Amino acid sequence: MILSATTLKNRMLMPALPLTDTTVLPVVAIENFRVIQTSDTEATRIEFAVKKTGNLPGYVSGRIFVVLEGKEGDKVRRMVVPPVYMNNGVPAEARRGQYFSIARYKPVTMQTQIDNPGDFENATVYIFSTDGTLIYKSMFPVKIVMAKVAPATPAKAIKPAEPVESAGPSASSAPADTVGGNMPPGALGQ
């Protein structure tokens, strides 16, 4: 959806930009969408990049949601990240989405807990302007990527400390009144 400059002025999406009637709202696109299962504890990251595709100067900001969809038996299973209610298949509270602001490109990471993420087949990314206008919607296939966990390194055997010889007197052979920093009065010329 592309908004004209007149519509943009009326909706106050990017008030910092000087606009003319021929100006077109810079739109955004999503690149490199992926869902990463981080462990057996159902911790999941949704990663992608938001890219500004228009050529106007300035920033584009708004709120992002990802809606995961799949089938669980004969029912449709949906999960909205961040969680909000859906209204006619669209997140209902745009102001509760994850905030972003970009000049050109920004990586986005959303974290959530998902039981059986392999049940989800598609993800729809919704991007709303800061005033709640839907400015982007696109569906992506969900392919779960398992995070690679670094193998545990075996503990190294620790050698026992070897005695160290010193040239000077040890603390145990120093006079009792200087051990631990206790100096006799007047030792520093006071």
Give the CATH number of the domain where residue 124 resides.
2.60.40.2420
Whether residue 151 lies inside any domain: the answer is no
* pTM exceeds cut of 0.85: no
Contact 71, 86 (CB under 8 A): no
Looking up tokens 């809606």, which residue turns up? Answer: 67
Percent of the chain with pLDDT over 70: 62
Asked whether 94 and 104 are in contact (CB, 8 A), the reply is: no
Q: Which of 128, 133, 122, 135 is nearest to 46 (CA)?
A: 122
2 — pLDDT class (breaks 50, 70, 90):
very low
Question: Does 177 reside within a domain?
Answer: no
State the amino acid at position 163 in one-letter form.
P
Residue 13 domain-assigned?
no
Residue-number span of the structural domain to which 85 is assigned: 27-146
The predicted model gives 108-119 an average pLDDT of: 88
Q: Quote the percentage of the chain above a pLDDT of 90.
A: 45
Amino acid, res. 160:
P
Res 63: pLDDT: 97
Q: What band does 41 get if pLDDT is binned at 50, 70 and 90?
A: low
Assigned domain for 11 exists: no
Measured CA to CA, the distance from residue 18 to residue 13 in angstroms comes to 12
Q: Which has the minimum average pLDDT: 102-106, 122-126, 158-162, 167-171?
A: 167-171
Q: Are 25 and 2 a contacting pair, CB within 8 Å?
A: yes
Query: Is there a domain that residue 175 lies in?
Result: no
**Does residue 169 lie within any of the structural domains?**
no
Task: Work out the pLDDT band at 58, boundaries 50, 70, 90.
Answer: confident
Is residue 35 assigned to a domain?
Answer: yes
For residues 190 and 188, give the distance between their C-alpha atoms in angstroms, rounded to a whole number: 6
Q: Number of structural domains, the chain?
A: 1
Dihedral angle of Cα 49, 52, 53, 57, to the nearest 10 degrees: -160
Q: Which residue has the higher pLDDT, 13 or 179?
A: 179
Is residue 62 in a domain? yes
